[in-house]
Structure formats: structure tokens, C-alpha cells
Amino acid sequence: MIDEMIVVEACNKTLDQIADGDMDGAIATISTLRADNQKKVDEFDKWAEEESKKQENMAVPDDYDRDGGVEDFGHNEH
């Protein structure tokens, strides 16, 4: 929710700057908001890629333990 509040605040500030004729300020406010959010996206992408690599490294080979953990004791024929 905090992120949404920051976006709303930046939008309100930008609208005020536009209404006051401060186009450079409005552009700077939006540019800062965009850069901050892009940084969060980039950090998330990096984290997600690292987690994906961890999962790949932990994957069990297809032929590992196909018997489901049941040992084959053979057949006792009498």
C-alpha cells in the first residue's frame, strides 16, 4: 500500500506543478517516480532469476530413485 501512496503523492505533485506552469518540475517528478519504480522492477527481476537458478540446481534428475523409495527385497518363493 505504501508504494501506491507514493505514486498518488507523486501524481498529485505533478498535477500541481503542471497547474502552476512548472513543466520542468513536473517532468522531474515523473522521471524520479519512474526511475524509482524501474529500480524496484530490476531488483525483483534479479531476485527472481536467482531463485529460478536455485530451483534448477535443486532439481532431481529424472532417473533418480524411480521406485519411489520402495526397496526391492526380491520374491520369497516357497
The predicted-structure confidence for 14-23, as pLDDT tens digits, reads as follows 999 999 999 9
pLDDT of residue 8: 96
Which stretches of the chain drop beneath a pLDDT of 50?
Answer: none
DSSP string, the chain: -HHHHHHHHHHHHHHHHHHTT-HHHHHHHHHHHHHHHHHHHHHHHHHHHHHHHHHHHHPPPTTTTTTTT---------
78/73 Cα distance (integer angstroms): 15
pLDDT of residue 14: 97
Is the pTM for the entire model greater than 0.85? no
